[in-house]
Chain A
Amino acid sequence: MKRKSIAIIMAAVLVMSLFVGCGKAKTENSKENSAAGTEAGKTAEEGKTSGEAKTITVWAWDDKFNVAVMKEAAEVYAESNPDANVKIDVVSLSKEDVYVKLQTALAGGGSGIPDIVLLEDYVSGKYLNTFPGDFVDLTDKFDYSQFLPFKVNAVTQNGKVYAVPFDTGATALYYRIDLIEKAGYTEEDMQNLTWDEFIEIGKDVTEKTGVQMIVEIANNKTTLIRSMMQSCGLWYYDMDGNINIKNNEALKAAFETILKMKQAGILFEAESTEGRAGALNSGTVASVVNAPWFISSLRQAEDQKGQWRAARIPRLSQVSSSINASNVGGSSWYVLEKSKVKDDAIAFMQGVWQGNTDFYDTILLNQGAMGSYIPGYATDAYKAEDEFFGGQKLNGLFTEVLPEVIPVNYGGYVAEANDAITTALSNLFEGKTDVNGALEQAEEQLANQLGR
């Protein structure tokens, strides 16, 4: 009997706390609705805790990277603008979850949207197309000549710039110098390669050390493909947004190159991102092509300290426009039109993300984030030597690469294109088709997906 009554009391407490909880939510909401803060809407409790402070809600993913960077930005802003009286609430979600929530909220008419949201450059075009008018045109709010041209290009649509460019995916070839040396090559030999030269070195490495040369994820083989493609200034879509796969010489060369790697036995196909990290950490693969944020995965293997080096990525010899510089991924901050604190959000972004090179130094040092703000690259933080990479000036390498990256039109529908390419590559690897056939297949699947 006693136990029963305890259970009933527990239940009652819980039910009551539910109603207290939702009562609070309601007052918060009504406060937002009347942003001016009418006297009637102000309860004693509110007056005590939050005063007149407005809340800017930000949605982002990755606690150690984007979320941490935005929290840092909030602190910087609070210090430099003590009168602004805004509270910046960075909500950490998974990347997929940010998209699901944003899409539901926008499709549902715009309630429950954040004030600022992080979107990948690859997908932002999709949102700008699907929800025209829901994102703030920031063209006149920032001096975009101070930001990397290819990043600005990625967030521009119909001549209007819609975002504050954030991190870049400047690609580098990360490789194990000890294994390369064992195969009879030097650091010198790894500079400004073509992919064909890379494959030749790879063959020797695999033969002499038994370690495969390069890693890519099997069910999503597009990191290599994308970096090869953009090194030529080409993409799945042309500058007008039309599909460009079947007759894309960069894509064709990329397919041929990756098939050559597979046939030479130097390509390690990891089954997942965990598998890729595991293979690199346990030393079963000698190199990887990826963006700066990938370095944190490499650093986990403390026993490999000093054995890693970074170099510019190889270029495609078959394509004349191909250079030893490219980009994969990267994302930018968007302000929502229906935000109730739109102007405060813009002021916050201007206050921190433009002009403040100390901030860019901090996020580079603490989070390893490579911003897109060009004046930021001149600071000492970019001259630092990295012990994990044998004292190499790693950030200096990226600042060299970044301005060279050729702008392309990501077209917004990269997920669809990646899926089509992955399927085609899988068929190519299984010998079901040749390179031209695979490309045609991919173009057809993509056109079908996009309803074109």
Chain B
Amino acid sequence: MKEKNMKLLRISIIHVFLVIAVVISVFPFFWMITGATNASVDITKGTMKLGKALKDNWSNLQSSANILQISWNTIKTTVIYTILSILICSMAGYGFEKYRSKGKNIVYAMFLLSMMIPFSAQMIPLFKMAAKGNMLDSHIAIILPTLAMPFLVFFFRQSFQSYPNELIEAARVDGANEFVIFFQLVFMPMKSTFAAAAIYAFMKQWNNYLWPLIVIQSNEKKTFSLLLSSLASAYYVDYGQLMLAIVFATLPIIIVFLTMQKQFVEGIVGSSK
């Protein structure tokens, strides 16, 4: 009996603790949503109640920016970036892991090292390149420079460790081409690894700020993070409008995460061995 009580106590403690953690985690989202329905003056006063200003905030937001265009720009760059970067990085990770050689290890070490160079140190030469390549104010300039992400290469290499070499050898014996092996044999069973990488790349690009800021020149090519930044910096900041913009900018990632989270968690399991 006593043991049963102890167990019950333990279960409740775990739940109570986690509920507190959840409240802390989720509270700011709640605040963000209430903020989107309130007038700016009430937000600065610290209100927590749902307000009636949602419609005003929406019309203000529409008058300061073309939300549809900005959403499309952000979705377009993010999705293309995500697809290309996981393709490129997964191939590199596979190459490093399954075809090991001394030369490749040196290149791999260089990749890891460059994770530590802050972006601000590369910015100006990169900008000059974008200007020379006539790519300023184009979405391709946002996408191209960061496609080869060292972290993703590292992540894929770790994950491919768990893929049995025997299967690859067997396919080779059957006469399969190396690329066929990669795309057909490895790709499908490692789906969750790719899902995890996709979420990572998606988040990274969706919130990307400094580089798009520098290469994008016109209002028509802007992405969400640039919009948020310009809304947040005014002599008088309209917080209601800003909160609504933040809600728009945050929802898609939450949706992506919710739909892919099962694979995401499983994907990381693969890499952490």
Contact = CB atoms under 8 A, between A and B. Distances in A.
A320 B63 CA distance: 49
A94 B41 contact: no
A65 B229 contact: no
Nearest to A290: B235
A273 to B, nearest CB: 7
Contacts of A275: 44
Contacts of A93: 213, 226, 229-230
B137 A62 contact: no
Contacts of A11: 79, 83
Contacts of A18: 76, 80, 139-140, 143
Contacts of A111: 128, 131-132, 136
Contact of B137 (A25, A64, A100, A109): A25
A281 interface: yes
A146 B157 CA distance: 68
Interface string B135-163: 11111100100000000000000000000
Contacts of B99: none
B235 A294 contact: yes
Given A61-B233, A101-B214, A293-B235, A281 B45 contact: yes
B41 A65 contact: no
B194 interface: no
B205 to A, nearest CB: 13
Contacts of A114: 217
A29 B134 contact: yes
Interface in B185-222: 210, 213-215, 217-219
Interface residues of B, number: 46
Contacts of B234: 61-65
Contacts of B111: none
B40 interface: yes
15 contacts: A21-B76, A21-B139, A22-B135, A57-B217, A57-B218, A64-B64, A64-B238, A89-B219, A100-B213, A109-B128, A111-B136, A112-B127, A112-B130, A112-B131, A278-B45
Contact of B41 (A14, A105, A294, A301): A301
A14 B233 contact: no
3 closest A-B pairs by CB: A94-B233, A111-B131, A278-B44
A6 to B, nearest CB: 13
Given A104-B124, A293-B236, 13 more contacts: A14-B80, A15-B80, A61-B234, A62-B235, A63-B64, A64-B238, A93-B230, A94-B230, A97-B229, A109-B128, A274-B44, A274-B237, A293-B235
Contacts of A49: none
A327 to B, nearest CB: 15
Nearest to B72: A17
Given A93-B230, A104-B127, A17 B213 contact: no
B45 A92 contact: no
Given A104-B214, A112-B131, A282 B45 contact: yes
B134 A92 contact: no
B134 A26 contact: yes
B109 interface: no
B61 to A, nearest CB: 10
Interface of B: 39-41, 44-46, 64-65, 76, 79-80, 83, 123-124, 127-128, 130-132, 134-140, 143, 210, 213-215, 217-219, 226, 229-239
Contacts of B217: 57, 91, 112, 114
Nearest to A11: B83
Contact of A22 (B139, B213, B230): B139
B38 to A, nearest CB: 12
Contact of B127 (A63, A108, A274): A108
A296 B35 CA distance: 20
Contacts of A63: 64, 230-231, 234
A112 B136 contact: yes
Nearest to A61: B233
A293 B237 CA distance: 12
A96 interface: yes
Nearest to B217: A112
A107 interface: yes
Interface in A18-54: 18, 21-22, 25-26, 28-30
B236 A296 contact: yes
A277 interface: yes
Interface string A1-19: 0000000001100110110
Contacts of A92: 64-65, 219, 230
A22 B80 CA distance: 13
Contacts of A302: 41
* Residue of B76, B231, B232, B236 contacting most chain A CB atoms (<10 Å): B236
A93 B64 CA distance: 12
Interface string A94-127: 1111001100110111011010000000000000
Nearest to A111: B131
A277 B237 CA distance: 10
Contact of B230 (A15, A25, A28, A97): A97
A114 B45 CA distance: 39
B235 A65 contact: yes
Contacts of A64: 64, 234-236, 238
A449 interface: no
A300 interface: yes
B174 to A, nearest CB: 24
Interface string A63-98: 111000000000000000000000001011111110
A95 to B, nearest CB: 5
A25, A97, A273: residue with the most chain B Cβ atoms closer than 10 Å: A25
A164 B215 CA distance: 27
A101 B64 CA distance: 21
Given A22-B138, A63-B230, A94-B233, A108 B41 contact: no
B123 A22 contact: no
Contacts of B131: 108-109, 111-112
